[in-house]
């Protein structure tokens, strides 16, 4: 049976790749690589977002008990990343495949030029049949520079590369309709774009070795699905989980995608470093958030502008109560925008094609 997806981002979490003692689980890595090789043999492009550098570092170096937490993480990630990539390289080599290290920070996705440079690099790697192995650059990513976790990073990569699907492998079967530890709890198999009720079942508990948890996974999955990309959350410890997801024989939670967004909108969804803030009135808010309607932001709906911007800069949109609405690229500078404030018959300040809304009507 032909695969339903042609370009996949596979995110493997720390709890999948780490043993109970905190060291790398090389047997499970081998199993997952074999599954990826199987997908590749069916002409499926695979981008791997892999945690595990810190765990690999623990297997190489012992730190004193009172060592600084941030510096320890930097050290473990620096030495561990080398081992992690070496393990992947050794597992791929017998199949005649190469892996390529791609280390990124959150800032790389915020800057449009960095974003396009990364995009070009990924495209060339895929064209040459090389498997990109992506991880956060933990050596320099600290505090505000850090991703929430690698789920967020995987969502960004899937959006950037216009992937067909994002497969998030954790140590649970998916999202449950109750406490997974209690008898009778069932995995929610399908979440439609408009579904929000699942959030009440998700706890904020973090995983043992990772930074995030199911709450983060759900948030990222919902956001990525809104951009037109299928998302599956499944248990990476289940045998043959990757082909099982694609054949629809494995248990997982599937976030059904909405209509595909453009590449620009996908970048806007994640950039979120705006030059200025544009405040809109209630009429503009209602028009922008009307379901199924493509609406640009016109000057007549703008009540105030905080900050300065030039044509093509990213601006943040908020309503009169300062509630976030979304982001967009300005069609002209702040000076002209202020001259046209509240006026009818003027060109859009933000065209619909360059607008991404984060709020819902």
Sorted by where each starts, the structural domains of the chain and their CATH numbers stand as 7-265 (3.40.1160.10), 274-357 (2.30.130.10)
> Can you tell me whether residue 223 is helix, strand or coil?
helix
129 annotated as a binding-site residue: no
Question: Which residue's entry shows tokens 């439609």?
Answer: 192
Residue 358 has a pLDDT of 78
Residue 244 has a pLDDT of 95
138 annotated as a binding-site residue: yes
Q: Please give the average pLDDT of every successive group of 10 residues along the chain, which has 361 residues.
A: 81 90 89 97 95 86 83 87 94 97 85 84 96 87 65 90 94 84 84 72 50 71 87 96 94 87 64 80 92 85 93 89 89 94 93 82 58
Residue 208 has a pLDDT of 44
Output the CA angle 140-136-273, nearest 5 degrees. 80
Residue 3 has a pLDDT of 62
**Distance between CA atoms of residues 274 and 322, nearest Å:** 15
Residue 262 has a pLDDT of 60
Residue 9 has a pLDDT of 98
281 annotated as a binding-site residue: no
Kindly report the number of other CB atoms within 10 A of residue 354's CB atom: 21
The reported pTM is 0.77
164 annotated as a binding-site residue: no
Q: Are 261 and 228 in contact (CB under 8 A)?
A: yes
């Amino acid at each position: 049976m032909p695969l339903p997806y042609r370009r996949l981002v596979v995110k493997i979490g720390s709890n999948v790749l780490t043993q109970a003692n905190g060291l790398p689980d090389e047997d499970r890595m081998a199993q997952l690589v074999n599954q990826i090789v199987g997908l590749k043999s069916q002409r499926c492009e695979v981008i791997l977002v892999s945690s595990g550098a810190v765990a690999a570092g623990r297997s190489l170096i012992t730190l004193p008990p009172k060592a600084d937490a941030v510096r320890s993480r930097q050290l473990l990630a620096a030495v561990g990343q080398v081992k992690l990539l070496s393990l992947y390289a050794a597992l791929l080599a017998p199949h005649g495949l190469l892996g390529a290290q791609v280390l990124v920070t959150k800032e790389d996705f915020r800057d449009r030029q960095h974003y396009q440079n990364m995009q070009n690099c990924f495209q060339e790697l895929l064209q040459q049949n090389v498997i990109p192995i992506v991880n956060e650059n933990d050596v320099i990513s600290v505090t505000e520079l850090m991703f929430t976790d690698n789920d967020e990073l995987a969502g960004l990569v899937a959006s950037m590369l216009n992937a067909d699907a994002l497969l998030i492998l954790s140590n649970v079967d998916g999202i449950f309709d109750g406490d997974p530890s209690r008898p009778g709890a069932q995995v929610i198999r399908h979440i439609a774009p408009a579904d929000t009720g699942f959030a009440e079942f998700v706890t904020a508990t973090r995983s043992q070795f990772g930074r995030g948890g199911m709450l983060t996974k759900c948030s990222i999955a919902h956001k990525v699905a809104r951009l037109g990309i299928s998302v599956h959350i499944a248990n990476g410890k289940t045998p043959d989980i990757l082909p099982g997801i694609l054949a629809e024989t494995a248990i997982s939670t599937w976030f059904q995608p909405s209509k595909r967004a453009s590449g620009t909108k996908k970048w806007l969804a994640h950039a979120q470093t705006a030059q200025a803030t544009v405040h809109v009135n209630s009429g503009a808010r209602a028009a922008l958030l009307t379901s199924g309607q493509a609406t640009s932001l016109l000057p007549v709906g703008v009540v105030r502008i905080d900050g300065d911007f030039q044509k093509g800069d990213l601006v943040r949109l908020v309503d009169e109560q300062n509630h976030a609405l979304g982001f967009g690229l300005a069609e002209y500078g702040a000076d002209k925008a202020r001259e046209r404030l509240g006026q009818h018959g003027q060109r859009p300040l933000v065209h619909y094609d360059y607008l991404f809304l984060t709020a819902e009507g």
